[in-house]
Structure 1
Amino acid sequence: MAWSANQFSDFTINRPTNQTSGLHLNNKTSFNNRGLGTTNSFNRQNYHSARNTGSGIQKLEELTPGSIANIIGVVIAKESPRSVFSKKNAGTERFLLGFVIRDSPAGFVNCTCWGSEPFIADLAKSFCIGDVVKVDNAQVQMNPSDGSDEKFRVSSPLGFHLTLSENHSSLTLYNGLDLGTYSPLQFIPIKPNSDYYTLEDVLANGQALNGEHISLLAAVRKIGEPRDITTKAGKHTKRCEIKLFDESCPSFPLVLWGEELVDYAQSWTQGETVLFVADVRMNYDDFRSCMVATADSKTVFTPNPDTVDAKCLYQFALTQNFVEDDSAGRDQSDPPLEEIKDILVVEQIATREGVTSDFAVLYGVITKFDLDSDNTEHFCRRKCTKCKQMVSADTGYQCSNPNCSQAALSVFNTTGEIIHVQPEIDYSVPINISDHTGTVQCRLSADILHTITGWNVKELMQIPAEGRTELKWQYLLERCKFHIKMLRNYRTPERLSIRVMSCCKADSAEMLQSISPIKGR
């Protein structure tokens, strides 16, 4: 069947209720090749015989723009479903799903499937990165000649992309006899084997790489906990931070965004999986004062690539024995969290009754979380760089401690002119933790706040107050387990400051079992 050139250009998603889609979701399930769960499989039903139903499979490298294609290949990249506003029907949204399919070492292209919101949502659940799929009746379209198509999509060696339609195309999981010829393609990098930076190269270039897309070859040191995030635009997504390493660098941060990529990362193995990361974006993180890699819509991950360098790195990774101490919010002298056994309630913290250590476990709920304060200055506490005493705006943020060399000697330079020493800034957020006995005031350090929310303090300060309010209510009144350190002021012993060493959601049964003996005292 010959289709007009504009058949895919735009369409309304509001179909009459008696119209049936060319694709239907059946009740069969199949396991994807990573064992991450079951996925629905799409089958064609009631499809007119006049349409091309995949009578012949073509190779990507043989396709020409303007033709209709039937392809079998492995999915090497996949985005989360999203929507855009229609150009033809103002105020309406069109829904799409993007992915990259590959059928040979040099043959891979971007694919976009358009359809209604429920259709795209179901389609996204039907296959994963690494699955081999069969695509029928996809339209082959030429890429823009100005290269704009590759600014936000995977760079393909072919000059076209594939477009799929809910009404005219199909995508199914493929399990034919030649399945084994496609699966190994996911382990071949899309860039030349030697075209990558070592982590040492990234550190040496520093901010010169800021905003650039580069390729990395590194092993997975640690896979962080996936976190649900609400973006500034109010959309819900997932975020996960990976620690990478190689022979030249013991730890380097990689940030993943989106449910598809975050879920895919859970199939990697810490200390073993080697990644060839093609076109990952590099940025300088002001908060951490270091370079950070972030995967975006151009990035393709090749796990355990079949290259000599990757195999050497894998052997090196097996010799490493990293100890992850999860030391955010802790001093080097603090005990490991698993060694903190004392369980206290707020009343005991205030009276010191039965307290035998400065470290304890506290179960409670967050009843105050000032993320949405109009005065973002209270996120900052300024300290003297020498004596660590707090400084205020009243003294121009200069140290007033007469016993501090910074205050007594360093305010003049060699010519006798007064100089102003910049204070050290400690970013943290005040919170209240409450239980059945009372409330205690604490502060969340920048590291702990970043661990909980996925945002650092500087990023939070840039979010409008209403956005911070929405984020705050994701954590208020949630039952949590806190590891705390109690710090007393030796000049005024009645003053106590509480530092949160870790925070996580508490299991209700564990919480009840732990505090019941304390209640009965």
Structure 2
Amino acid sequence: MLRDKRMPGSFAPQTFTALSGLHPNLANLKIIGIVIGKTDAKGFPDRKNIGSERYTLSFTMRDSPTHFVNVTSWGSEHYIRGLSDSFRVGDCLIIENPLVQRKELEREEKFSPATPSNWKLLLSESHSTVSVCTSDKVDSSLLALIHVPVKEPHDYYSLGDIVANGQNLDGRVINVLAAVRAVGEPKCFTTADRRRGQRCEVKLYDETEASFAMLCWDNESILLAQSWTPRETVIFASDLRISFDKFRNCMTATVISKSIITTNPDTPEANILLNFVRKNTENAQDSDFDSYLKESINLNTIVDVYTVKQLKVRALKKDGNADPVYGILYAYMSTLSIDDETTKAVRNRCLGCGYIVNDETKACSTCNKDSLAFPSACPSLDLLVDLTDHTGTLHSCSLAGSTAEETLGCTVNEFLVMTAEHKTALKWQFLLERSKIYFKLVLSPRARGGFRISVLSCKLADPVEASRSLSGQGST
């Protein structure tokens, strides 16, 4: 049974059984705890009723720094989906009349979070009750547990360690402490057998690595990731799977059913990383960096369509408003110099802050790291492109970082080994082809025309969509 309403009143600790005191012989069991991990509701064929499905939901709850337990519920689709929708990670729950069972260590912890308890809880649709507590009625010590990692705070790999170990870590499950650099848009897809799925990519960073991809494939981890503020959030992720991505030629991390992610952990190690993040965020306001970190901007929020002429008029208005302008252009690349040997298409960026490293001094002027003493620079595509539509041309627009890789369909390492002929063929796939371009415009007195354009996304446009969007705009 599920109580939809939020529980009123405050709760006396003595009315609940602590997770440390669980035992199968307990009757009329009532437990309070905070949810620290949760998986998606899933359906499985019911062997007893051919043609129907049973649904299950699993989550992990905690009532002290040292005690947490996995909870599983089986039931009808209506019950399980209702239960799943009633709470999220970080909510406090009261569970009444669960069944206490001994945990099958090897089988269950292969797919579920490892817990210190010898027991697990089973929820029955007909006998168990789950209620959600409002945070203002819960003891603050219980709420604070959401910021306590489930593993030892010093038991983690830095991102630099993962990259340095390379494929030796392929397939391993490890802990990671990192800051959130960017959260991508959730993307839906349909598999060959018509199952729907979703994917979200989070870019992490720390003192040792500027950008490292973490992939979320389930709705619960994606919802959690969407709550993170880039460049302000630190996470301790226990039991991430590390893999070598052959397409990108780099290491990546994946959130799996065993993973528990602690947001802004209250540990000395996390506080040191957070201080690093805050220090570097102060220097991260340059628009030249936007396309390098384009995932931090939710493209779904950008809906205004402009022509080139409208943008130029907008930039020239002296209304005292220096806020960035975000929008969409339906235009084509009229200049893309990726096969010109006199044009530098790849630049080295500092792994400490992400800014371009001076090739002569070998030092980062932003965080003052000497790359000879600190081998912390990585190659990044840095292109200047001209964008043209029926009203004019925008010169020297920045197309860089992951946006450039996605646009060209290759990684920077793949680009570096291309022949001149390959680069020329690649260029002509884009020149004079109308694209849908998401951009950011900022005023800059030093730039040509008094403004700078950063490309946030560039994909070939749907002709019908482009025609519909541009109709009525004319050349104004």
- The yes-or-no answer on 1:64 pairing with 2:8 is no
Task: List aligned pairs for 1:279-428, cutoff 5 A.
Answer: 279-321=239-281, 322=284, 324-326=289-291, 341=308, 355-356=392-393, 387-390=419-422
- The yes-or-no answer on 1:117 pairing with 2:82 is no
Q: Which residue of 2 aligns with 1:16?
A: none
Q: Which amino acid aligns with 1:517?
A: Q
1:241-292 Cα distance to aligned partner (Å, 9 max, x none): 1111111111111111222211111221111111111111100000111100
Q: Which amino acid aligns with 1:205?
A: N
Q: Which amino acid aligns with 1:194?
A: H
- The yes-or-no answer on 1:256 pairing with 2:212 is no
1:20-58 Cα distance to aligned partner (Å, 9 max, x none): xx4464xx5x6xxxxxxxxxx89xxxxxxxxxxx99421
Q: Which residue of 1 aligns with 2:120?
A: 161
SS at the partner of 1:181? helix
The structural deviation recorded for 1:356 is 4.2
SS at the partner of 2:308? coil
CA distance change for structure 1 residues 357 and 98 in 2, over 3 Å: closer, same or farther? same
- The 2-side partners of 1:64 and 1:271 are apart by 44
- The 2-side partners of 1:504 and 1:74 are apart by 46
1:421-454 Cα distance to aligned partner (Å, 9 max, x none): xxx99999x89xxxxxxxx8679xxxxxxxxxxx
8 A contact 2:308–2:392 mirrored in 1 = no
The structural deviation recorded for 1:181 is 2.5
Q: Which residue of 1 aligns with 2:370?
A: none
Rg larger for: 1
8 A contact 2:390–2:475 mirrored in 1 = no
8 A contact 1:142–1:159 mirrored in 2 = yes
The structural deviation recorded for 1:179 is 2.9
CA distance change for structure 1 residues 346 and 282 in 2, over 3 Å: closer, same or farther? closer
8 A contact 2:307–2:330 mirrored in 1 = no
- The 2-side partners of 1:58 and 1:352 are apart by 68
The structural deviation recorded for 1:353 is 6.6
Q: Which residue of 1 aligns with 2:46?
A: 86
Q: CA RMSD in A?
A: 4.2
- The yes-or-no answer on 1:75 pairing with 2:75 is no
Q: Which amino acid aligns with 2:20?
A: E
- The 1-side partners of 2:153 and 2:424 are apart by 44
The structural deviation recorded for 1:141 is 1.1
Q: Which residue of 2 aligns with 1:126?
A: 86
1:265-320 Cα distance to aligned partner (Å, 9 max, x none): 12211111111111111000001111001101011111111111111111110011
SS at the partner of 2:211? strand
SS at the partner of 2:108? helix
The structural deviation recorded for 1:128 is 0.7
8 A contact 1:348–1:354 mirrored in 2 = no
CA distance change for structure 1 residues 425 and 111 in 2, over 3 Å: closer, same or farther? farther
8 A contact 1:81–1:95 mirrored in 2 = yes
1:502-521 Cα distance to aligned partner (Å, 9 max, x none): 14999x9998675423389x
SS at the partner of 1:134? strand
Name stretches of at least 5 consecutive residues in structure 2 with no aligned partner: 295-304, 311-328, 335-387, 398-413, 440-454
- The 2-side partners of 1:87 and 1:220 are apart by 43
SS at the partner of 1:129? coil
SS at the partner of 1:318? helix
8 A contact 1:328–1:501 mirrored in 2 = no
- The 1-side partners of 2:181 and 2:438 are apart by 26
- The 1-side partners of 2:172 and 2:332 are apart by 53
Q: Which residue of 2 aligns with 1:171?
A: 130
Q: Which residue of 2 aligns with 1:239?
A: 199
Task: List aligned pairs for 1:477-496, cutoff 5 A.
Answer: none
Q: Which residue of 2 aligns with 1:413?
A: none
SS at the partner of 1:194? coil
- The 1-side partners of 2:332 and 2:152 are apart by 63
- The yes-or-no answer on 1:137 pairing with 2:102 is no
Number of residue equivalences = 352
8 A contact 1:96–1:120 mirrored in 2 = yes
The structural deviation recorded for 1:118 is 1.6
The structural deviation recorded for 1:240 is 1.3
- The 2-side partners of 1:384 and 1:272 are apart by 33
Task: List aligned pairs for 1:9-20, cutoff 5 A.
Answer: none
Q: What fraction of aligned residue pairs are identical, expressed as a percent? A: 33
- The 2-side partners of 1:98 and 1:242 are apart by 24
The structural deviation recorded for 1:385 is 5.1
Equivalent residue in structure 2 for 1:516, among 456, 468, 472: 472
8 A contact 1:85–1:92 mirrored in 2 = yes
1:159-201 Cα distance to aligned partner (Å, 9 max, x none): 2211101111111112485432311111111001111111111
- The yes-or-no answer on 1:151 pairing with 2:110 is yes
- The 1-side partners of 2:467 and 2:92 are apart by 45
Q: Which amino acid aligns with 1:341?
A: V
Name stretches of at least 5 consecutive residues in structure 1 with no aligned partner: 1-21, 31-40, 43-53, 330-337, 361-381, 391-423, 432-439, 444-479, 484-498
The structural deviation recorded for 1:86 is 2.2
CA distance change for structure 1 residues 267 and 24 in 2, over 3 Å: closer, same or farther? closer
- The 2-side partners of 1:427 and 1:182 are apart by 56
CA distance change for structure 1 residues 302 and 356 in 2, over 3 Å: closer, same or farther? closer
Q: Which residue of 2 aligns with 1:453?
A: none
1:428-483 Cα distance to aligned partner (Å, 9 max, x none): 9x89xxxxxxxx8679xxxxxxxxxxxxxxxxxxxxxxxxxxxxxxxxxxxx6578
- The 1-side partners of 2:226 and 2:31 are apart by 28
8 A contact 1:72–1:174 mirrored in 2 = no
